[in-house]
């Protein structure tokens, strides 16, 4: 477990002894530091982000970061489930007006300003809880169900921040987020295999056979090269690219030759 997260868990977690009250300003600063300091393969908040929205983006990222770390960094699935249960309790307390954790203090301001319901946050916690008990996926539909809780809620939250949430925009955001989640799965097959997780569907027309007895860190897992059946499926990301012109009020500039993720034999606009 990263020492910084361990320290934060000891300071703000369920076992914290006599935690000091956190002011709203301190909560905002905490979320901003967490957003700026944690490594991601993309920048969450940049100078392109409208300045008035930066605290809101930081508070939502901090919630996601804590949820992810509680699930992945504890090292004990049983303990992780306990902590995620505590985190759900903190979320519900925040919606009832009793926020105490610095992330929840900052998030409460965001939720109130943008009228964000609790459902996307609960869905994310549910996905991280599932990670503690489910390591293999038998079907593509099961994998999509997981994406509907691990990725799609993030798109909904961004729509709320842009005051653009409606059924059609949510549908398009779901396609985008699911496609990106699947791309992340395909690129991380070797890493997931090393920690005992296989997210490629084992059965059905899109099955990809990946042996747990293979090399722990292959540069490109052989199963990916045998993923030709996935070519026949209109992946959510491909559907998103087909629907790109239907986003209201947006102008799109697409390259004449798509930038593709081909590791699993399907294309995703990235």
Q: How far is CA 242 from CA 4, 107, 219, 247, 254, in A?
A: 43, 35, 32, 11, 12
Sign of the torsion formed by the C-alpha atoms of 97, 63, 147 and 243: positive
> Helix count (H) and strand count (E) of the chain?
12, 0
145-157 pLDDT, tens digit per residue, is 999 999 999 999 9
pLDDT at residue 72 is higher than 50: yes
Q: How far apart are alpha carbons 165 and 239 in whole angstroms? A: 20
Which residues partner with 136 through β-bridges? 198
**Nearest in space to 266 (alpha carbons), one of 81, 138, 82, 140:** 140
Q: Which helix (H) or strand (E) holds 23?
A: none
CA 223-229-235 angle, 5° bins:
105
pLDDT at 195: 62
Sign of the torsion formed by the C-alpha atoms of 190, 191, 193 and 194: positive
Going by pLDDT thresholds of 50, 70 and 90, the confidence category of residue 37 is confident
Q: Which residues contact 266 (CB under 8 A, 6 or more apart)?
A: 182, 230, 231, 233, 235, 237, 238
249-261 pLDDT, tens digit per residue, is 444 333 333 332 3
The CATH number of the structural domain formed by 1-119 is: 1.10.600.10
pLDDT at 16: 84
Range(s) for CATH 1.10.600.10 in the chain? 1-119, 134-245
Rounded to two decimals, the pTM is 0.76
Q: How far apart are alpha carbons 72 and 66 in whole angstroms? A: 10
Other residues' Cβ atoms within 10 Å of the Cβ of residue 164: 14
78 vs 74, which has greater pLDDT?
Answer: 78
What b/e readout covers 63-100, taking b as 16+ CB neighbours within 10 angstroms? bbbbbbbbbeebeeeeebbebbeebbebbeebbeeebe
Q: How far apart are alpha carbons 247 and 183 in whole angstroms? A: 22
Q: Which CATH topology does 134-245 take?
A: Farnesyl Diphosphate Synthase (1.10.600)
pLDDT at residue 212 is higher than 70: no
Q: Which residues contact 154 (CB under 8 A, 6 or more apart)?
A: 64, 120, 124, 177
């Amino acid at each position: 477990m990263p020492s910084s997260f361990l320290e934060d868990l000891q300071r703000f977690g369920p076992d914290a002894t006599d935690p000091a009250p956190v002011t709203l300003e301190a909560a905002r600063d905490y979320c901003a530091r967490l957003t700026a300091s944690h490594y991601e393969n993309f920048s969450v908040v940049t100078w392109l982000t409208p300045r008035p929205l930066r605290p809101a983006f930081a508070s939502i990222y901090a919630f996601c970061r804590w949820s992810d770390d509680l699930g992945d960094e504890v090292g004990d699935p049983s303990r992780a489930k306990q902590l995620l249960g505590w985190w759900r309790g903190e979320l519900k307390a925040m919606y009832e007006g009793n926020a105490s954790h610095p992330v929840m203090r900052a998030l409460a301001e965001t939720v109130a300003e943008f009228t964000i319901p609790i459902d996307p946050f609960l869905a994310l916690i549910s996905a991280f809880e599932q990670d503690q008990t489910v390591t293999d996926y038998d079907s593509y539909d099961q994998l999509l169900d997981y994406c509907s809780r691990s990725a799609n809620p993030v798109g909904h939250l961004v729509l709320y921040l842009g005051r653009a949430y409606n059924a059609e925009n949510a549908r398009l955001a779901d396609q985008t987020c699911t496609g990106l989640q699947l791309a992340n799965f395909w690129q991380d097959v070797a890493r997931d295999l090393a920690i005992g997780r296989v997210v490629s569907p084992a059965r059905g027309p899109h099955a990809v056979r990946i042996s747990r007895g293979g090399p722990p860190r292959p540069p490109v897992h052989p199963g990916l090269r045998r993923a030709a059946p996935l070519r026949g499926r209109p992946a959510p990301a491909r559907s998103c690219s087909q629907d790109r012109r239907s986003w209201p009020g947006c102008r799109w500039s697409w390259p004449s030759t798509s930038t593709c993720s081909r590791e699993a034999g399907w294309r995703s606009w990235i």
